Amino acid sequence: MREIVLDTETTGLDPADGHRVVEIGCVEVLNCIPTGQIFHRYLNPERDMPADALKVHGLSRDFLADKPRFAEIIDEFLDFLGDARLVVHNAEFDLRFLNAELARPQRPPLGMDRVLDTLALARRRHPGQPNSLDALCARYGIDASRRTTHGALLDAEILAEVYAELSGGRQTSLRLGTIAGIAQKVLVHGLRQRPAPLTSRLTQLEAAAHAAFVATFESAPLWNLYLEPAVPV
What's the pLDDT tens digit per position in 48-79? Answer: 999 999 999 999 999 999 999 999 999 999 99
Q: Which residue has the higher pLDDT, 29 or 191?
A: 29
Give how far Cα 7 sits from Cα of 24, 87, 132, 157, 163, Å: 6, 9, 14, 9, 13
User: Which pLDDT score, from 0 to 100, does residue 163 have?
Assistant: 97
Give burial (CB, 10 Å; 0-12/13-18/19+) of 229: exposed
Q: 214: pLDDT confidence band, cut at 50, 70 and 90?
A: confident
Average pLDDT over residues 5-25: 97
In the chain, where the domains are located: 2-173
Which CATH number describes the domain made up of 2-173?
3.30.420.10
Q: What is the CB neighbour count within 10 angstroms for residue 19?
A: 18
Q: 83: pLDDT confidence band, cut at 50, 70 and 90?
A: very high
Q: 213: pLDDT confidence band, cut at 50, 70 and 90?
A: confident
The set of catalytic residues is: 150
User: Which pLDDT score, from 0 to 100, does residue 181 have?
Assistant: 46
User: Which pLDDT score, from 0 to 100, does residue 193 have?
Assistant: 52
Give how far Cα 184 sits from Cα of 120, 172, 190, 198, 233, Å: 40, 18, 9, 21, 9
Average pLDDT over residues 25-47: 96
Look at residue 26 and tell me whether its pLDDT is greater than 90: yes
User: Which pLDDT score, from 0 to 100, does residue 202 have?
Assistant: 79
User: Which pLDDT score, from 0 to 100, does residue 197 have?
Assistant: 65
- Pair 6, 154: CB distance under 8 Å: no
> Could you give the CA distance from residue 177 to residue 172 in angstroms, rounded to a whole number?
9
> Could you give the CA distance from residue 156 to residue 154 in angstroms, rounded to a whole number?
5
User: Which pLDDT score, from 0 to 100, does residue 148 have?
Assistant: 66
Across the strands, what pairs with 42? 23
Across the strands, what pairs with 10? 21
pTM of the model: 0.71
Determine the longest span between alpha carbons in the chain, in angstroms: 97
What's the pLDDT tens digit per position in 98-143? Answer: 999 999 999 999 999 999 999 999 999 999 999 999 999 999 999 8
Look at residue 39 and tell me whether its pLDDT is greater than 70: yes
Helix (H) or strand (E) holding 100: helix 91-103
What's the pLDDT tens digit per position in 141-194? Answer: 998 887 767 899 999 999 999 999 999 865 444 444 444 444 444 344 444 455
CA 219 to chain centre: 56
